[in-house]
Structure 1
Amino acid sequence: MSYSIIGFGNIGHALAKAFARKGIEVSVATTRDPKSFASAAAAIGPTIIPKTLAEAIKADIIFLAVRFESHPEVAKALPTWQGKIIVDAMNTQAPPEELDGLPSSAVVAKAFTGAKLVKGFNHLVAAVLDQDPAVHGGRRVVFLASDNDVAAAEIGALAENLGFAPVKLGGLSEGGLLVQARGNSWAPLIFQDLFKKAS
C-alpha cells in the first residue's frame, strides 16, 4: 500500500510527522515544485518523500490536507479516482448554503469521482495532531466516517499503525456531520481531544 499527503501546511506537516514516527514512507506534494519544500520534508525524516502532484496521486491512499477551496483543483488531476482511498482531513469556512446543505465530506466525495472517501484526522488542531499519539497511558482518538466499510477499515488499520485509536462514526451523512467544522458552526466532536486507555 502506498501513501501520499497532498498539502504541506500545518496539517500536512503533522500527518507527515505521524508517518515519520513509525518509519512509514509517505509522499508529500503541493502544487509547487517539490524542491521548494524538500528541506522541510527532510527535516521531518528520511521516509517523507517530496514529489510532484502528478507523482503523489499515484498512491493508493491519499490524504487531502489542502485548503477546502483548493480541493476541486486537486480533483482535476485525474479523470477518475477509481481504486483510490481519499482521506478528507480538511475543514471549511464555507457556509452550509454554499455546500447545498451537504456535509463538506459529501461535497469532496462528489469531486473525487470513483474514489472511496473517508473523513478523518480533521477534528484535531494541527498542534495536537502534531504530537505523539501515545499519551496518558493510552492513544489519542481519531474519528473516521465513510460510506464505504472497506475503506473505513483500511484507514482504521493505518490509524492504528500510526499509533492512534480509530473510532468509526458510521457514514458521511451521520458521522461526517459530527466531525465537520464549517462556517462558524462546529460539530460536537470537533477539537475534542480524547484518549483511549490501553485495555
Structure 2
Amino acid sequence: MNIGTLGAGTVAQAIARHAVAHGHHVLLSNSRGPDSLAAVVRDLGPLASAGTPEEAASAELVVLAVGWPQIPQAVAALPAFDGRIVIDATNQFADPPSHAKAVDLGDLTGSEFVAAHLPGARVVKAFNSLYGKYIAADPRHPAGRQVLFLAGDDPDAVSTVSDLASEFGFAPVGLGSLREGGRLMQLGGPLSGLHVLKQD
C-alpha cells in the first residue's frame, strides 16, 4: 500500500515506521518542504520518501497528523480525495505544544470538524488517543496487544484501517461513527489517553 502523511512529527513517523517495517511505501510531507525530511527518510529506509503535501495527499491512504490550529491551512489546497481514506490522528489542542486547553467545537466532534475540511475523503479516526511513545513502540507485549480505537462512517474504510493496524500488531477496537465513536476517543473523552492491552 502507498501511504502519505500530512505532517511528519512523532505520530506520523511512528506510523510510517510500522508501515515500512511491513513492506508499505510511505511518502512523508510537512509545511517546510521535502528537504527538511531528508534525515527522517534516511532513518526510515528505502521504502520511505519525502514529498509535497499534494503528493502525500494523492496516496492510497493518507495520515493527517498536524497540529490542530494548522488543519485548515494544511488541507486547503489539496486535490479532491475522491473516496480515498484519511486517518485522522489529530486532537483539538488549542495550543499543541502546551497541551493545556481544548478547542470548543460546540456540538461537533473533532472528527466531524476534520471530515468537513476533507470533502470526498473517507475519514477514520485512529491513533489519536494514544501517546506517541505507545504508537511507536512494538504493540505486542507479553500481556497482550496494544488496543487501538477506531471510528468512522464508512465501514469499508474502517475495515481497511483496522486490517492495517492489525498487521502492525495492534488490537483494533471499532467504536462506531465519527460522531459517537469520535466523541469517546477525542480529547476529553473517556478513552482519550487510555493505554489498554487486549489479552490474546
Does TM, scored on the shorter chain, surpass 0.5? yes
**Pair 1:106 & 2:112 matched:** yes
Match of 2:130 in 1: 124
- 1:7 matches 2:7: yes
The residue identity in structure 1 corresponding to 2:193 is: F
Q: Deviations over 1:70-124 (max 9, x none)?
A: 1112222235222211110011124777423210110000000111110001111
Superposition deviation, residue 164 in structure 1:
1.1
Deviation, 1:41, is 2.0
Contact 1:96 1:102 in 2 (8 A): no
- Contact 1:106–1:173 under 8 Å retained in 2: yes
After TM superposition, the structure 1 stretch with the greater mean CA deviation from structure 2, 112-121 or 130-139, is 130-139
Mapped contact 1:60–1:83 kept (Cα < 8 A): no
3-state SS in 1 of match to 2:192: coil
How far did 1:131 drift? 0.3
Preserved contact between residue 178 and residue 190 of structure 1 (Cα < 8 Å): yes
2:76 match: 76
Matched with 1:196 is 198
Identity among equivalent positions (%) equals: 36
- Who is 2:37 aligned against? 37
Measure, in 2, the Cα distance between the counterparts of 1:112 and 1:91: 16
| 1:32-69: CA deviation from partner (whole Å, max 9, x where unpaired) | 22111111221123222111112111101101010011
CA distance, structure 2, for counterparts of residue 130 and residue 60 of structure 1 = 22
TM-score by length of 2: 0.90
CA RMSD of aligned residues (A): 1.7
- Partner SS for 1:122: coil
Q: Show structure 1 runs of 5+ residues with no match.
A: none
Q: Provide the rounded CA distance (Å) in 2 between the counterparts of 1:99 and 1:140.
A: 29
Q: Give the secondary-structure state (helix, strand or coil) at the position aligned to 2:179.
A: helix
Given candidates 145, 166, 171, the residue that maps to 2:177 is: 171
Provide the aligned length of Structure 1 versus Structure 2. 194
The two structures have a TM-score, normalised by structure 1, of 0.90
Structure 2 unaligned runs (5+)?
A: 95-100
- Kept in 2: contact 1:121–1:143 (CA 8 A): yes
- Residue 61 of structure 2 is matched in structure 1 by 61
- Cα separation, 1, equivalents of 2:129 and 2:102: 18
